[in-house]
Every structure is written in structure tokens, then in C-alpha cells.
Structure 1
Amino acid sequence: MELGLPAFAVRRLLRRRDLVKVQQGVYVDHTGPLTWLQRAWAGVLALWPSALSHDSALRAGDGPGRRGDDVLHIAIDRDRSPAAPPGVRLHRLAHLDERVQWHLSPPRVRIEEAVLDVAASALDEMAAIAAVADAVQARRTTPGSSARHAGGACPDRSQAAAAECAARRE
């Protein structure tokens, strides 16, 4: 065990219900339902090294009070292939170390990248615009910062827009 407890001590704590298993190697010290933040930490720790991404990274930045996030989005390095725990959607990212703010609690993908990931996975153009506009309006990011992090990426799926975007990148 990472904290130095021998296996028999962990088994005793589990038997006495002083600890409850959440994921493999991840425990909490109560028997009630998990808060969103506890679920986020459990997902990140179970897949370590990993970080919150997409909507989950934005949700972590919002703080307590927001409801309705059932699925956790967790980013891992693109070369890894662990099985996703229940309620977790994995996103494999290149250059994970450069894209994650490891000092935050729990670690998460940079806000600009999370906003762009949410916009890129939006079902329609208006939802993509709303994702970026919401982040700018909440002063989490600026249009210039988002554009710098986009790095020429073209999340729009229409062929005409993709052709225009490709022409601009050349």
C-alpha cells in the first residue's frame, strides 16, 4: 500500500467499514454516496497518471453546486490502454504532461483545451459556439488564449469549413 499500511490492516478497515472500496486501490472513509469531487478523485487516482478533461475539467473549475454530471471524462496518455471504470469515459491524449495542470486538485487539462475539446465534440455548431462563449463570459479564458491553444485545429465538421480552415493553415 502506498501509505504504508500492510494488506491485513486494509482488510480489517474494510471489514469494519472504516474504509469503503471505490475503485481498485482507491478508498473513502464513509459509507454514504460519493460527492462529485470524490468521484472525480477516485477516477483520477484509479487511472493514475491521469487528469480530468472535457466537461469534467470545466466542472471542477466551477466548484461545488453544479448538478447533472453523471459521466467523468478522464484524460490519459495516448500510449496507455487501461479499462475504463464504470461511469468514466477515457480520452487518450498526446503530450499529456504538457496539457495538464498537475498542481490543481484534482489534476485537469488546461481550461482552454477543455473548452476546445467540448466545442469539438458538440453535436451542432451552436452548441460549439455556446461552449466557447460560456467560458469567455465566465472569464475562465479569453478568445485570444483559446485561439493560441487551438494551434490551427479545426473542430468544425462541415466540409466547407474544413476546407477553409485548411487553406488558412497553409
Structure 2
Amino acid sequence: MEWWWRGPLQAKGIDALIRDQGQIVSRAQLLAAGWPADRIRGPLRNRRWRAVHPGVYATHTGPIGYGERLLAALLYAGPEAAWSHYTAAEQLGLLKPDANRPVFVTVPERRKVRPQPGIVVHRDEHWADRLAPVAPPRRTPADAVLDIVGISPSVDHAAAVIAEACQSGRVVPADILSALAGRD
């Protein structure tokens, strides 16, 4: 599968991509833009850049913001990663953002992603069937809700998530039931 950022990289170039990504960039993006490895090591060595996760860098020295954390986690998890669970629900406007939550990503079942602090990785054999048609990739609204329900600590918590998501007006109970019928 192709990275979701390849089109913008080819159309605008690496500097615009870095700017659009809130000063976050991955080694894969830099290599795709034609940067040699020593050019990547330079700003890291002289501390103009810093590693957020292995192979993902902040190209500034200030604090890492919430949006930057989300994007860094997605870039770290690889080309077939998508925001899921709470992260997808927040990005889709279903739930209020909470910067204290970890970043949730889902990858295909066959992929392995090494754990990193602040990132919760789930694996799903039906990964591609549950994506919203947007970039950066994330679950559909109904699937994001079902992801959360699947890890909810109680029935009351699950019901509250469903209610908040439906009150957002961006998902309806029928969509959630339809997505549920399609799950194993």
C-alpha cells in the first residue's frame, strides 16, 4: 500500500509537507524526497531536530503539541496505519479531544509495530474495510465508535461514548449497527 502523504509530497515538495504536518517529518518522507541519510543525521546531531519516535522527527526545538503527537504516532506506525478508537473519534469530531489520552492506531493484522510510549497499537485483519476516505487515514465514524466500545471498561462507559458520538450529528445509530453487523 502506498503512503497517504506521497501525493502531497510530489505536488508540493518536502518543505511544504513538513509545514503542513506541523513541523513533524518521518525518515521515510525525507528519503522519498531524495534526502541522503547524512543530510538527515545533520540536524539531529546538532539538535535542531529531535526524534519523537524512531524514524519520526520534530523539526523544531519547542514542545510537541497535541496535533504533532497524533501525526508522529501515525507516521511511526507505518504506511498501513490509521488513527482508530479515541483518536479517530476525536479527529472525526465525534468526541471532545483529550490531550492526556494515548494515540490509538490500527494496523493490518500481519504487521508488527514496536510499542512506544503514548501510542496504543491495535491489529485488525479488516483494516482496509474500516477506513474513512480521508487523509491522514482514520477509521470510519461508526468503526471508531465500535473500537472504543470494544475496549470500554464498562457498559455505562460504552453507552456514554455512543451517546456523545451520536449527539455530534456525525454518526447515527443505524451506521453503528450496520458496522457492527459487518464485524466478526
Q: One fold, TM greater than 0.5?
A: yes
Q: Deviations over 1:94-143 (max 9, x none)?
A: 12112123523x31111101101212221221111111111111112011
Inter-CA distance 120–75: structure 2 relative to 1 (3 Å threshold): same
Q: Deviations over 1:2-22 (max 9, x none)?
A: 221111111222233332221
Out of 5, 16, 19, the position equivalent to 2:49 is 19
Residue type of the alignment partner of 1:59: E
Could you say which residue in structure 1 is the equivalent of 2:90?
A: 59
Do residues 109 (structure 1) and 143 (structure 2) align?
A: no
Please give the TM-score of this superposition, normalised by the length of structure 2. 0.74
Q: How many Å separate the matches in 2 of 1:18 and 1:83? A: 26
Inter-CA distance 55–80: structure 2 relative to 1 (3 Å threshold): same
Do residues 31 (structure 1) and 100 (structure 2) align?
A: no
Out of 151, 154, 167, the position equivalent to 1:121 is 151
Greater C-alpha radius of gyration? 1
Q: How many Å separate the matches in 1 of 2:183 and 2:172? A: 17
Higher relative contact order (CA 8 A, sep 6+): 2
Matched-pair identity in %: 29
Inter-CA distance 147–90: structure 2 relative to 1 (3 Å threshold): same
Do residues 100 (structure 1) and 98 (structure 2) align?
A: no
Could you say which residue in structure 2 is the equivalent of 1:139?
A: 169
Could you say which residue in structure 2 is the equivalent of 1:75?
A: 106
Please give the TM-score of this superposition, normalised by the length of structure 1. 0.80
Instruction: State the 1:62 CA deviation.
Output: 3.1
How many residue pairs were aligned?
152
Unaligned runs of 5+ in 2: 1-30
